[in-house]
Each structure stands twice: as structure tokens, then as C-alpha cells.
Structure 1
Amino acid sequence: MKGLKKVICLIATLAVVTGAFAGCGSADEKKNDGQATNFTEKKPEDYKGEITFWHFNKDESPAIVAAFTKKYPNVKVNLQVIPDKDQAYQNKITQTLANGGDMPDVFCGESAVVKRFVNLEGAFADLSQAPFNADEIAKKMVPATVDIGRDDSGKIRALTYQVTPGGIGYKREIAKQYFGTDDPDKISEMMSTPEKLLEMAKTLKDKSAGKVKFFASRQELEKIYFGARTDGWVKDGKLTVDPMIDKYVDMAKTYRSEGLETGQEQWAQPWSAGIAGNDAFAYAIPTWGIANIVECNDAKRKDKGLWGIAKSPISYCWGGTWLGVYSKSKNKELAWLFVKFMTADKDQMKQWSKDRGDFMNNVDLINELATSGDVNKTFNQNPYAVFKPSLDTINGKLFTQYDDRITAAFDDNMASFLAGKISKDDMYKKFKEKVKSDFPDLKVE
């Protein structure tokens, strides 16, 4: 998941895919998914064969394959990584489907595009029906994550092994110097409302004489406010600008104009480099951010308890990766075995959490690890105990098939607004014009 940037998929490609599969999806699905026999349980070594697997993350995907083949040594997994840069991964999926090319037996979708994939004709198999019966294993998952992997008719098409609520990560030495404490509970209380958070940012500016910015970028605020919306970008075929979006716009302008954030863009090289520095205090940190935002960029503080995680004044979640089986795969048994291994094998999930630092999507494991007393050495906190109280706040309804492109359109105009190039009204006007241009079937007011 490292990088998890919102990426843009070309509408022309989607139009081709929709046309290519219109009218024939139901018949193909019954033919390919409605298998009469159930898969039989075997010893790990008795599973034999070969599958293909497409992923967008070059760091995570080889580890998934290695873990699987360690348990199932006689199954060969052919991995292809298509980086999620300039919509390459999404285009590869949609174009291969449209052209009738060789699709992988298993492929994944990041949170910004998974709703598009689960609703794309001919893409993911219906996992709700036999022989998959995914609703059974889904009972052990956080319900919102299951809902995100459902298509519009309610069928499970994809499952995730992660849960991704977020907090606010901070550098403890800066907290001690300017706030007199680095205790996560006390820091959480100091920033328990958006207003308190703003006052805290102003205090840091005053006490540090402007040398230390509170947030590393405007997107730290964006992740918090976006994740706390009631409605996603599209509702009932209409572009919806949730009130939290407007609150974010105003708050981001305040932070920028008063010099309370760096002005850098999230994921840019200066932003990543600054994680190891002392110029910025706080970052939006979801569950996966411990390893993939902090630890991979801050070697000098890693394993030394020099970071902390405070509760966000507004609950939010950010990211996640869903896996599904290709609807016409000729290796459905092995493909499903692969998906189940990552999303339902408790022993492997526990090991994965230990090795990779992920927050796993299994309620029994979450309860077990939250009370285990184990701590992450970089943060000197138990991530499961930190993030577990936020699980009920995850709103699966926020996820739509339009998320990556609409968010990109918003971000482009938001950057211009904060740079003083356009007014707030013009920002919204240009944003809506872009959405209307990209999605003529959406109602945009």
C-alpha cells in the first residue's frame, strides 16, 4: 500500500469496457461462477497448479506470494506488478478486459478504485455464491470492509485483509519541547476538537518562532476531513459535496495562510524526506502508515519509541487493498485458496501482522492482539489497542467508483486555491466543471 496515491483512470477506457461487456455479463457469470461442486479441503501440499496474480505494489506483493507459497509449496504464483502511477494499473485491468486478453486469476483493487472493479462486468467473480460462500468467512471481518467489497446488488466480489482507521502521528521530542508532554492521551486531549487542534498548531508556531510547522502538508487535514464525511462523492447519481469538504476547504486555507503547514504535497520527495526531520510535527497516520509512512522514511527514530499516535479529533479511515477472483478464471479453486489465505487464515494473518505491521481484518485476532501487551517499538504503543476503538466509525458508504478521478479533480483546484491563484468560488466552479466533463451522466449542480 505504500504510496497509495489517488490515481486517475481514463473515462474512454471505462466506456469501452462497459460497452464490451454490456448484455453478456449475467450469462457469463452463471456459466463461470455457478459451479455445481464445492471446493474440497486438502492438505497444503496436495494443492497443485499455477495461478497468475496482478498487484500494483512492488513492495507488498512479493511478500504475499512468498507467504502463500511457503504454506502451499506446490502452487506456483506468477506475479505481475503494474505500478499505480499515471493510472497504469487501472488501465491495464480495464483494457485487458475490454480486449478479451489474458486476465490474472487473482487481482486487487485499492480503496480509491475497488468500487469500480466490483461493479465492472466480467471482472470479479461473485464470491457470495457456491463454491466460494464468502459470506461465511466474512462473519469474522469488520462489516464495513465487507460492504466496500460488495457490488451494487450486494454480492461480495472482493475481500480485504486490512482495516485502516487513522490517527495523528507525531514526533515525541517536539511534543515534549513545545507542549510539555509526549503522552498520547494528553496529546489526544489537546487536539480533541478541530478548534483545539488549530489552537495547538498556533501554539507550536508561536513557541517555535515559526521553525516547526504543525502539519507536514495540507493533505494531512484532507485525509481527516474526507474520512469523516457522511456521504461520498456521488449519491443517487449526483455529485455530492459533503459539509465536511467545505469545512476542510476553510480550515486548509487557515492553516496555509497562517503558516501552520509546510505547503508541501503529500508523497512528494520533500514531504517524505521531512518525516525524518524536525520541520514538521504531525502526520495523518492510518494503520498501515506506521510501517509505510513513518518507519520506511525515518531510520533514525525507528524502533526507538520516538513517535506517538494520538486520537484524531475527527474519526477517519484511509486506504486498504481488496483481492478478488477473475470471473472467468480456469483456476478458481487455487485462486480462491489464495484469496482466503490472505483474508481468512488467522495464523497467517497473525504472522503477517508481526512481520509487516498491518492491522488485520479479523475480529478475533484484533481482540487478541489489542490485549496482548505487545507494542510497536517505533511508537511505544500497541497499534491494535490504539486503533480498535475507531473500527465502528468506518463508513463503507463513502467509497464510490468515482473516487480517484473526482478527488484528483478536487485536489488540482484546491492546490490552485491555496496558492492564491483562484477564489474559493472559482475553485468549486472549476472542480464541478471538470467532474461534469469527465462524467456527463452524473448530475452536477
Structure 2
Amino acid sequence: MKKMHLRKALALVMCAIFMVSLFTGCTSQTPEPAAGNPQQESPQSEVAPAEKKPEDFTGELTFWHFNKDEGPKLAEAFMTRYPNVKVNVQITSDTDLAYQNKVTSAIRAGSGMPDVLAAENAFVKRFVNLPGGFENISAAPYHAEEFVSANIPYTVDIGRDNEGNMKALSWQACPGGVGYKRDMALKYLGTDDPAEIAAMLSTPEKIVETARKLKEASKGKAKLFVGTEDLYKIYVGGARTQPWVKDNKLIIDPKMLEYIDIAKTMRSEGLEGGIRQWTPPWSAAIADDIHMCYAIPTWGIQWIVAVNDEKNAQAGRWAVATPMPYYEGGTWAGISQQSKNKELAWEFVKFLATDKDHLKAWAIETGDFVNHVEVIDELKNDSSFINKTVNQNTYEVYGPMVEKVNGNLITQYDDQMRKSFQDIMQTYLAGKINKDEFIQQFKEKVKSDLPDLIVE
């Protein structure tokens, strides 16, 4: 019995030794990771989808715009890059607010909106704050904040709603200058050099002084500005430091009071033409030899000067000086909350506003001043990039102004403020009311039209 127990015990010991050696051998097949080189986990079975190429996108988009010259060209540029997409453009001019009313009605109705809609500077702030209007592209799945690092900051800010959400993007930057007729400047002021003209227009006092000199040298024929509203653009778009409305309260910046004074002096002494902007006489004066200066933002070279002074559109008769930084205009595009194809709509908006290759091609083809710092830098250093209307590199001229534009001046009330202010200004310039009455009437008009604002 003892022998049998001994044999059993020996067998158990041998079995245990075998099992230990077996496990030791298996473990030796997988070496431990070296220090500083942690063992990698096994790869996941899921693979991130490949990024879509332009030709991978298919379908149709509807795009609302208010400009028959710009809207179709934007769509064409996108369809050239995205050959399997069709963009249906619908143009509604904003004459008598037709475009704005169309968009507002569709938003309120909750139906009938396009996939993408454009908004002009005058009303973009109102549109981005309309409930049910633009999609919030700061949020997923768009993450627009990741795509705008090369865009001019003020244009990005204007496309945000009051809560800071990005709703629309722009492909343009619109800093402004003073466009003037070289022949008139040389004849009456002794120079047509943009730097010298800028110095002559750099302060209110110098503006009046230069206007008087022009009048005297021309024996009363020449006017420095076509009208006071051109000066308004400079003051409201750059001279101010405060917006019209802040914390729901009307603010009249001291610079606007200064504008009232200079406008009155210019009108009283016959130093400007007294012509209201965007009227037929205002457009006709662009080609004459009487009115020397207009407020010309970047887009104005083409759409103010060249189209109205066709004889000299390629002759370099005009030039642009930049005495005071300001900006005017611009167009934004955003995705409608009612869109049924938001992925494709986002691709369209992103292409228009952030695609460097497209923006450079757009700048070269149209002369537009695009909203991309790298393209701006490339073109302002390109000595061959000369605009024939002004015989200047417009990116070199306007480029330094971009950084000085304050996008926080823009509010959703600006268009209404402009109309009210300028309507009362005509009464004041006609001598029917004094300055105090002007200000009081303006406040009363704002209080009547915008009862939710605090007016003191």
C-alpha cells in the first residue's frame, strides 16, 4: 500500500512539473514590452471612411441670391469643381426689400426655403438672428470653426448670431478707400499720387481744406465729393468706435456728430454735389469731370466705377487712396434650417468661403477682394496683378485696411438706422431744422420704428 501511494505521489509530482513547463513554454512565445514602448492594442475592426472627393458628391441644391451677376457665377464655379452636382440659382433683386421679404416670409412659414441663401451686409445680422433661418454651423456635424482660420476675422464675426454661433460665411472682405479721378486731382490739386491725396483727406479739417482748394482752383466748377452720403460710408464704417446699438440701447457715436458738422459745412459752401447715392444722377456723375471723389470699397471699382465710366474702365483714369480705414458691403452664405440636403449645402458654403484655390481663381477672374489671408498676401506681392481701372494692385492698396476693420460695429439694426439718419439729414442740410432738432428727430424715429430699444 505504501508503495502504491508512493507511486501515485511520484506520478502527481511529475504531472505538476510537466504542466509548469508547458505554461512556461507558452509564455515565452510572447515577450514583455520594453520599457517606454507599451504594448500596442490589437487594431480595431472599424476603419474611418475615406474623405469624399468633389466628384463623389451628387445631387441638386437650391441657392437664393439677390445679385444676378454674382449668384450664377458662384454656382458655376462650384459645379466646375463638383461635376456631379447641380446648383439651381434663384435670383430676387432686393429692390424695395423684395429679397428680404421673400426670405422672411419663407422662414416664418416654415417651408419654401432653399438649401443655401445669401445675405448682404445691410441685413446679414438680422438674418443670422432670425429663429428658423440659418443652420448653426459652429455645431456638429459642420464644425465651421475649424475651417475659418485663414478668413479675415471681422467677416467671421459678422456671420455670427448674438450668442456667438456661426451662421454664415463670406468669401469677400470689403475694406474701403476713396476713389478719385486722376485727371481732376492733377489739374486742380497738383498731384494724382494716392499717398498725397490720402494725406489731403486724412482728417475732417483737411477734407474741408482740400474741398475749398479744389473749388477755388476750378473757379467753382469742381466738387470734392459727389454727395455727403459718400462721407457717411466712411464715418459709419470706420470712424466710429461704437455700434448703433449696444446692450439694447441706442448709441450715437461722437464721430457721427462730427459727420453732421462736416456734411453741413460741405453743403453750405458748395463743396459737394448734393447728389443722393444710388440715384441715376449719382451714377452719371461717375463719368463726368465735375465730381472728383466717391467712397469706393473693394467691390466698388467694378460695380461703381467701371460699369458707370465704361470709356475709362480700362484706362487707369481712376485711383484709390486710403486716408481712413472703413468698410462697406459684402455677401455671406449660410445653410437653411429647412434644407433637405445639408451635407451638400455645407460643402457649397465651405467651398465658396474657405477653399483657397477657388478664392484665388475667383480673385483673378472677377477682381473681387477675397476673404483669405494667404491669397491676399500672394496677390498683394504680385507686381503683375494690376487693376486697369485704377492702374493699381488693389490687394496692395486695400490689404493694410483689412486688419483695421472693426466687425463689432455691425448690428441687425444698421440698415434701418442708415435710412432714418439720412432721411432726416436731408431736412437738416436743407436748413429746415438745426442740429439739436436733427438729433431729437432721429431719436424719435428710432423709438417709433424700434420700440424695444432703449432711447435716451
Scaled by the length of structure 1, what TM-score is found?
A: 0.89
Alignment of structure 1 residues 377-396 onto 2, 5 Å? 377-396=388-407
Partner of 2:87, secondary structure, is: strand
Question: Who is 1:307 aligned against?
Answer: 318
Matched, 1:345 2:339: no
Question: Who is 1:429 aligned against?
Answer: 440
TM-aligned CA deviation for residue 39 of structure 1: 9.8
TM-aligned CA deviation for residue 140 of structure 1: 0.6
The residue type paired with residue 100 of structure 1 is G
TM-aligned CA deviation for residue 100 of structure 1: 1.8
TM-aligned CA deviation for residue 121 of structure 1: 1.1
The residue type paired with residue 256 of structure 2 is I
Question: Who is 1:214 aligned against?
Answer: 224
C-alpha distance after superposition, 1:35-78 (max 9, x if no partner) = xxx99732322211011111111111111112111222221111
C-alpha distance after superposition, 1:132-178 (max 9, x if no partner) = 11111110111111111111111111110011111111000111111
Whether the aligned pair in 2 keeps the contact of 1:39 and 1:333 (CA below 8 Å) is: no
Whether the aligned pair in 1 keeps the contact of 2:111 and 2:338 (CA below 8 Å) is: no
Specify which of 59, 74, 86 is matched with residue 96 of structure 2. 86
Unaligned runs of 5+ in 2: 1-47
Alignment of structure 1 residues 279-428 onto 2, 5 Å? 279-312=290-323, 314-373=324-383, 374-428=385-439
Distance 1:335 1:260 in 2: 50
Partner of 1:79, secondary structure, is: strand
Matched, 1:439 2:450: yes
The residue type paired with residue 282 of structure 2 is W
Distance 2:433 2:198 in 1: 35
Specify which of 197, 200, 211 is matched with residue 201 of structure 1. 211
User: CA 1:154 to 1:237, structure 2 compared with 1: closer, same or farther past 3 Å?
Assistant: same
Whether the aligned pair in 2 keeps the contact of 1:256 and 1:263 (CA below 8 Å) is: yes
Question: Who is 1:10 aligned against?
Answer: none
Specify which of 238, 255, 258 is matched with residue 249 of structure 2. 238
Question: Who is 1:20 aligned against?
Answer: none
Moved more, 250-259 or 184-193: 184-193
TM-aligned CA deviation for residue 423 of structure 1: 2.2
Question: Who is 1:95 aligned against?
Answer: 105
The residue type paired with residue 337 of structure 1 is E
Partner of 1:334, secondary structure, is: helix
The residue type paired with residue 257 of structure 2 is D
Alignment of structure 1 residues 46-57 onto 2, 5 Å? 46-57=56-67
Question: Who is 1:4 aligned against?
Answer: none
Question: Who is 1:268 aligned against?
Answer: 279
The residue type paired with residue 335 of structure 2 is V
TM-aligned CA deviation for residue 426 of structure 1: 2.1
TM-aligned CA deviation for residue 101 of structure 1: 2.1
Partner of 2:444, secondary structure, is: helix
Distance 2:297 2:51 in 1: 36
Distance 1:404 1:179 in 2: 35
Question: Who is 2:127 aligned against?
Answer: 117
The residue type paired with residue 394 of structure 1 is V
C-alpha distance after superposition, 1:2-38 (max 9, x if no partner) = xxxxxxxxxxxxxxxxxxxxxxxxxxxxxxxxxxxx9
Scaled by the length of structure 2, what TM-score is found?
A: 0.87
Distance 2:49 2:292 in 1: 52
The residue type paired with residue 321 of structure 1 is T
Question: Who is 2:165 aligned against?
Answer: 155
The residue type paired with residue 399 of structure 1 is I
Whether the aligned pair in 1 keeps the contact of 2:107 and 2:133 (CA below 8 Å) is: yes
Question: Who is 2:116 aligned against?
Answer: 106
Matched, 1:278 2:278: no
Distance 1:401 1:237 in 2: 11
Moved more, 422-431 or 345-354: 422-431
Partner of 2:284, secondary structure, is: helix
Whether the aligned pair in 1 keeps the contact of 2:55 and 2:83 (CA below 8 Å) is: yes
Question: Who is 1:11 aligned against?
Answer: none
Moved more, 279-288 or 303-312: 303-312
**Percent identity among equivalent residues?**
55
TM-aligned CA deviation for residue 130 of structure 1: 2.0
Residue correspondences, number: 407
Whether the aligned pair in 2 keeps the contact of 1:264 and 1:271 (CA below 8 Å) is: yes
Q: Between Structure 1 and Structure 2, whose CA radius of gyration is higher?
A: 2
Partner of 1:270, secondary structure, is: helix
Distance 1:137 1:345 in 2: 9
Whether the aligned pair in 1 keeps the contact of 2:108 and 2:132 (CA below 8 Å) is: no
Partner of 1:87, secondary structure, is: helix
Whether the aligned pair in 2 keeps the contact of 1:124 and 1:327 (CA below 8 Å) is: yes
The residue type paired with residue 302 of structure 1 is A
C-alpha distance after superposition, 1:214-249 (max 9, x if no partner) = 101111110011112111110111111011111101
Distance 1:412 1:193 in 2: 25
Distance 1:187 1:356 in 2: 27
Whether the aligned pair in 2 keeps the contact of 1:39 and 1:131 (CA below 8 Å) is: no
RMSD of aligned Cα (Å): 1.4
